[in-house]
Amino acid sequence: MELLMAIATGFLYAGGLYMMMRRSIIKLIIGLALLSHGANLLIFLMGKLVRGRPAVIPEGMTNLVGLTADPVPQALILTAIVIGFAVQAFAVVLIRSVYQTTQTDDLDALQSTET
């Protein structure tokens, strides 16, 4: 299962980099979103994939027994998802205002500072 998730992470990174190389600013934002999803999946994989074993200490014991899920990567990913959503929402608003001003989403046409 971890190998499949590692391959999916690689595809997300490759797709994100490919989209960022395109000329459209919208595709740039989609590429950034794919990269952030790939990074989230990579962090999730670092915490090991364990099914049905929450990181809860049973009553009467002092430490965890056996292989359990690590809650720290899950908390980091949850925070990263919220921050990523806010950045993407801001980027969409920024792209909309740039498009209304310049009537183009081509990055090469946006190189000029004059409107």
Tokens standing for residue 71: 């809650």
| Nearest residue to 44 (alpha-carbon basis) of 4, 17, 88 | 4
Is position 91 within any domain?
A: yes
Please identify which residue in the block is written with the tokens 């000329």: 23
Is position 83 within any domain?
A: yes
Tokens standing for residue 19: 């989209």
For the stretch 7-57, pLDDT in tens is: 999 999 999 999 999 888 889 899 999 999 999 999 988 877 777 777 777
Is position 9 within any domain?
A: yes
Instruction: Note the pLDDT of residue 46.
Output: 84
Structural domains of the chain, count: 1
Is a pLDDT exceeding 70 seen at residue 115? no
Is position 57 within any domain?
A: no
* Pair 31, 20: CB distance under 8 Å: yes
Is position 59 within any domain?
A: no
Cα 115 from Cα 102, distance rounded (Å): 7
Instruction: Note the pLDDT of residue 101.
Output: 86
For the stretch 78-106, pLDDT in tens is: 999 999 999 999 999 998 998 888 888 88
The CATH code of the domain that includes 17 is 1.10.287.3510
Domain extent at residue 80: 2-50+69-111
Is position 61 within any domain?
A: no
Is position 62 within any domain?
A: no
Cα 89 from Cα 101, distance rounded (Å): 19
Is position 64 within any domain?
A: no
Average pLDDT, the chain: 86
Which has the higher per-residue pLDDT, 67 or 84?
A: 84
